[in-house]
Structure 1
Amino acid sequence: MINKVNTNTMKKILILAVAVFITSLGSKAVAQSENCTILGSLFIEPAKAKNYEGAYPHYAKLVAECPTYSMATFQYGEKMFKHFIEKGDKGKVTELIQSYNDRLKYYPSKTKMGDVLSDIAQVKYDNSIGTKMEQYRAFEEAFKKDEENFTSPKALYTYFSLAVDLHDSGELPIQDVFDLYDIVTEKIEKEESKLAEKVTEYMDKQEAGSTLSSKEKKYMDAYERNLEAYGKVKGSVSGKLGILADCPNLIPLYKKDFEQKKNDVDWIKRAAGRLSAKDCDDPLFFQLVQQLHNLDPSAKSAYYLGKLAEKDGKSGKALEYFNQAAELETKPSDKARVYYSIAENFRKKGNYGQARSYYRKMVEVKPSAGIAYLKIANMYASSANNCGTNVFEKRAMYWLAADMADKAARLDASIAGNARQAASSYRGLAPSKSDIFNDGMAGKTVTFNCWVGGSVKVPNL
């Protein structure tokens, strides 16, 4: 009986102890939560108001005691440290890098690794932290770990620029530089195509007569700014490569390695591709193309054979090869290049209708290919005298050409200057306000019955 009483008493004591322990834990959790709320408020509220001097003293304590309180800690922390660095406080560089790493550690699922790692690499480069090789490896790590989210135009340029600098100092083989050039260019074009596709959707909506909402207009402006940034970076990357990839350097390099590498399909493809891109008129190019077609008949080899036939003045044969290449090619940027060659083939023969259809195919697979729209604009302008029953109708064609040139400028920063200049020139050739008034054409529609087709609405006075 005594044992039974003791057992019951012990059970009650144990239950009471567990309850007290749980209550204690709960109290501590509440206290911890309250503490984090206070610390979070002390940092985040002034940081929101850009009072970084007031926010800074609370940042380290908040991260140390409540690292998972809110991702806003690291978002505002980044802005705060960048502010101090811009003001000349280089001592905050290390803290900015640590803030990036803490965000990766505590919020991995809400953080784009490639974006943050490339930011860290850029900070190291901008502030001369480590050797150039160490900086280069930091960018390389970011790109390899998360290429999809490595999208900063500035970081892409710095990554490639470092490779060229390292080659110049004898630390990186030239082939590594060429390989990275292909990788970075492909990445830029991929991002350009994504943005151009979105911009085109909005432009099509406007052309159909719809008005964009303020939100759509905001997005469109942002996409166009980013497109311009990528276009400038692409030009800078090509400029940085400079004379390294000129024919006088490429031909001896590939001649030297040809015998050793002639059965390496990937090497042959890269070599032929680079010589083709630079229009290197050398027997080596013919050798590479023939070898590539022997080893691996493909879209690439058909395209290069087309280029060779074109150089020999055999436009019909070239067209056959280009069509083969278009059917076989799967990579959008390369398919676009083939369509461009076909379009150019038809354009040079004066077959504008066929040329336009292939330029359009080009932008279907590569929406950022503004050159296609500019070429169409030029063909429209060249056809002005053949499209229309009177002078007004003929000159109205220039409006259509100007609109097409404007589209080219908005989608492709690399040709924007030339495209805008062309658009301005075409508008200068279109009917003037006095022409519109004298002919009574304000607000009317001019329809084109030549190969161009379609119509244009005359501006209201």
Structure 2
Amino acid sequence: MKTKITIVLAALFVGLNMSYAQQDEECMNNLSIFDSYVKSKKYDDAYEPWKIVRNKCPRFNRAIYAHGEKILMHKIKNSSGADQVAHINDLMLLYDQSRENFKSKYDLGEILEDKANLAYKYKKELGKSNQELYDKFNEAYTKDAKNFTNPKALYTYFSLAVDLFDAGKMPAQDMFDKYDDVNEIIEGIVETNTVKLNKYAAKEEAGETLSKKDAKRKSSYESYIDAFDTKIIPSMDKKLGDRATCDVLIPLYQKSFEEKKNDKVWLQRAMNRMYAKGCKEDPLFLKLVEQKNSIQPTADTAYYLYLLTGEQKYFDQTLELQPDPLKKAKLYKKLANELKSKGSYGKARQYYMESMKLNPSDGSPYIAIAAMYAKSANNCGDTNFNKRAVFWLAASTAEKAGRIDGRLKSAASKSAASYRASAPSKSDIFTAGNSGQTIKIGCWIGRSVTVPSI
């Protein structure tokens, strides 16, 4: 349960029906007592007065549920056997009661995922099977996917699907579908938070200094996105592992193609998975793309056709069919990554820059551009000094990533330090006698760099 209220004693009673409060002085007094104990983390002392209010006045104040969760969590952690199971079940009941008595404050998906997380954490104590646990998370997904957003819950939900597949209790297609279900939820969460984050990135790009409040919000959005991008999704991919190699996917999709060839969702997911797993060279990938394009052209199908044919018209169609700026930014970055892997660095940089125009809080394209500069150093200078000078450009470019994207601050700093270590030293600058001068870098880079003054 998210603790959605920060409680100070004065605030506890805001909005309370005072005539009701006066009629039940016992609840008022005990609310004040258990609130004070909880603030001091004296959860055992808080337990009895909390129970009185919970049982006698269940709608008296939301602190019953916000504080009640902390009290029962303490009881669970500090008990064992039948007592512990009783406290676990009581917390399950409390979650239900919180929604029953304050429905507008507690979303169904949130409550169901909290109950599922609790059951999973104490699965041994409760004697729950993987199927029973999966069903609990699946209830949250099927009844209120919009509010099923907890990172840990989403990962556990998918992880249990893989465990059921391994045990022969879930078909491969259902497991892959569950990966896509969870991934789509995550994409929606990340997109929502990225839109919020970009507002602050735009302010900083314009030279504004964020207030402490805005800086805190920006950091919060970055952390939330980072949790999914660097922890949850990679963990899901690792869990999926070799269960989704081309050797597994191709026969599976070939077998189902005739039956599913008019199923737009199935075609889209099959295409995406084959592309993600590097199966795009197989004829089946083209077959899937062409079929999807014939019944429902989308930005994705146009993009895949562009990759397969290299025809500019398909890339133009990709952009036309994708009105969402963040999704368009992803397409630009995806194409840039493809071009980078093929060594088409100039074109890749162009698309990385287009991606950042649409999603200014994503600094990863600068990391990629810096890496391309570094890799090209030996080919883009006429002297040994000038070749090594490219590393200064790589370093400054990597640093830009850290400035606009707090999630990359550490990685950007390490990359920049590594590049600077390969650049000319002070003694090299002294020997060359070009301190403070500007060096023009040729080939595809076409940039200038200033030699540090010594």
Contact 1:193 1:368 (C-alpha < 8 Å) held by counterparts: no
Partner-residue secondary structure (3-state), 1:142: helix
**Structure 1 residues 354 and 58, CA, compared in 2 at 3 Å: closer, same or farther?**
same
Contact 2:401 2:408 (C-alpha < 8 Å) held by counterparts: no
Equivalent in the alignment of 1:21? none
Q: Structure 1: how far apart are the matches of 2:451 and 2:199?
A: 24
Contact 2:363 2:402 (C-alpha < 8 Å) held by counterparts: no
Q: CA deviation at 1:354?
A: 4.2
Equivalent in the alignment of 2:252? 253
Question: Are 2:352 and 1:356 equivalent residues in the alignment?
Answer: no
Aligned residue type for 1:329: Q
Q: CA deviation at 1:289?
A: 2.6
Partner-residue secondary structure (3-state), 2:317: helix
Equivalent in the alignment of 1:146? 144
Aligned residue type for 1:103: S
Aligned residue type for 1:246: T
Equivalent in the alignment of 1:16? none
Paired residues, number: 425
**Structure 1 residues 406 and 29, CA, compared in 2 at 3 Å: closer, same or farther?**
closer
Q: CA deviation at 1:407?
A: 5.9
**Structure 1 residues 117 and 368, CA, compared in 2 at 3 Å: closer, same or farther?**
farther
Equivalent in the alignment of 1:81? 72
Alignment of 1:103-142 (within 5 A): 103-128=98-123, 129=126, 130-142=128-140
Equivalent in the alignment of 1:70? 61
Q: CA deviation at 1:244?
A: 1.9
Contact 1:387 1:397 (C-alpha < 8 Å) held by counterparts: no
Q: CA deviation at 1:136?
A: 1.8
**Structure 1 residues 374 and 62, CA, compared in 2 at 3 Å: closer, same or farther?**
same
Q: CA deviation at 1:156?
A: 0.8
Q: Deviations over 1:83-126 (max 9, x none)?
A: 23233442321122122111111111122332232111100111
Equivalent in the alignment of 1:273? 272
Contact 1:384 1:395 (C-alpha < 8 Å) held by counterparts: yes
Q: Structure 1: how far apart are the matches of 2:252 and 2:263?
A: 16
Equivalent in the alignment of 1:57? 48
Question: Are 2:44 and 1:46 equivalent residues in the alignment?
Answer: no
**Structure 1 residues 263 and 220, CA, compared in 2 at 3 Å: closer, same or farther?**
closer
Q: Deviations over 1:122-160 (max 9, x none)?
A: 001111144322322222222333333322111110111
Partner-residue secondary structure (3-state), 1:329: coil
Gaps of 5+ in 1: 1-25, 310-314
**Structure 1 residues 110 and 219, CA, compared in 2 at 3 Å: closer, same or farther?**
same
Aligned residue type for 2:136: A
Aligned residue type for 2:291: Q
Alignment of 1:438-449 (within 5 A): none
Partner-residue secondary structure (3-state), 2:223: helix
Q: Structure 2: how far apart are the matches of 1:289 and 1:252?
A: 17
Q: TM (normalized to structure 2)?
A: 0.78
Between stretches 401-410 and 244-253, larger displacement belongs to 401-410
Gaps of 5+ in 2: 1-16
Q: Deviations over 1:14-50 (max 9, x none)?
A: xxxxxxxxxxxx9995653322211211221111211
Equivalent in the alignment of 1:342? 335
Give the counterpart of 2:394 among 388, 391, 398: 398
CA RMSD of aligned residues (A): 4.0
Q: Structure 1: how far apart are the matches of 2:134 and 2:437?
A: 58
Contact 1:269 1:292 (C-alpha < 8 Å) held by counterparts: yes
Q: CA deviation at 1:277?
A: 1.7
Identity rate, percent = 40
**Structure 1 residues 178 and 395, CA, compared in 2 at 3 Å: closer, same or farther?**
closer
**Structure 1 residues 449 and 427, CA, compared in 2 at 3 Å: closer, same or farther?**
closer
Equivalent in the alignment of 1:324? 317
Q: Structure 1: how far apart are the matches of 2:201 and 2:450?
A: 17
Question: Are 2:304 and 1:304 equivalent residues in the alignment?
Answer: yes
Alignment of 1:368-447 (within 5 A): 371-382=364-375, 394-406=390-402, 410-411=406-407, 421-430=414-423
Partner-residue secondary structure (3-state), 1:263: coil
Equivalent in the alignment of 1:180? 178
Alignment of 1:83-98 (within 5 A): 83-89=74-80, 90-91=84-85, 92-98=87-93
Q: Structure 1: how far apart are the matches of 2:417 and 2:302?
A: 39
Q: Structure 1: how far apart are the matches of 2:215 and 2:431?
A: 36
Equivalent in the alignment of 1:34? 25
Q: CA deviation at 1:331?
A: 6.0
Partner-residue secondary structure (3-state), 1:428: helix
Equivalent in the alignment of 2:235? 236
Between stretches 296-305 and 380-389, larger displacement belongs to 380-389
Q: Structure 1: how far apart are the matches of 2:22 and 2:56?
A: 12
Partner-residue secondary structure (3-state), 2:51: helix
Q: TM (normalized to structure 1)?
A: 0.77
**Structure 1 residues 320 and 437, CA, compared in 2 at 3 Å: closer, same or farther?**
same
Q: CA deviation at 1:58?
A: 1.8
Q: Deviations over 1:148-194 (max 9, x none)?
A: 33221111101111111222223323222212211212222333344
Q: CA deviation at 1:55?
A: 0.2
Equivalent in the alignment of 1:7? none
Between stretches 28-37 and 201-210, larger displacement belongs to 201-210
